[in-house]
Amino acid sequence: MTEPRFASGVQGLLPVIVQDATSGQTLMLAWTNQEALDRTLATGEMHYWSRSRGRLWRKGEESGNVQRLHALVLDCDGDAFLAQVHQTGVACHTGQASCFHNAVRGEATAPFLAALWRTIESRRQARPEASYTARLLADENLRLKKVAEEAAEVVMAAKVGDRDAAVREFADLFYHALVAMAALGVRPADVEAELARRRRPPQP
């Protein structure tokens, strides 16, 4: 197995590319050493080495925007990490979701599902009258009723073979299902993990 080559890194540091475990969006680039790596693995929260402060720091220790480790992968040369995380709040100190938001050519975009999920999560503390999503999050009967209604409409559209109507109804169902998930504290990554668990290995 490849081992981290801290000795060959700059000042004993190796870069960490940080990625949202749910969406795959690149969030930030940070640095780690053996001490930060050990703390990350021991606590399950991302720790890095701050070159500007000259010390170990836990992501979110001041902002509250912590990163919980989902997976940590070392590259083939042992000189860079890919960390997949569950991000609380935003990753960038500027308030942007990702540190990579200064366009040089083109514009990097987050997958739509991830953007929608962040919007839903942001409505958790909003007053019910602030938005439809906030109203759903505040009213269990309403949101469960809407999930059932949208599921029935998907069935009807599929039954008559109306593809365009089915697309619209699937969109409604996905949205309302995500709101119901958020209310229960279920993340898209939790559903993905369950689906992966059910996947059978290929037969020889």
pLDDT of residue 171: 95
| CA distances for 73 relative to 104, 113, 163, 178, 191, angstroms | 28, 24, 41, 29, 22
H helices of 8-159, in order, are 34-43, 112-122, 132-138, 140-159
Please give the single-letter amino acid code of residue 61. E
Instruction: Give the domain range for residue 120.
Output: 112-198
**Mean pLDDT value across residues 14-37:** 92
At 29 the three-state DSSP class reads strand
pTM of the model: 0.62
Q: What is the CATH number of the domain that holds 171?
A: 1.10.287.1080
Residue 101 domain-assigned (yes or no) = no
User: How many domains are contained in the chain?
Assistant: 2
Indicate whether 83 and 136 sit together in one domain.
Answer: no
Strands (E), the chain: 14-20, 26-32, 47-50, 55-58, 67-74, 81-87
80 pLDDT band (50/70/90 cuts)? very high
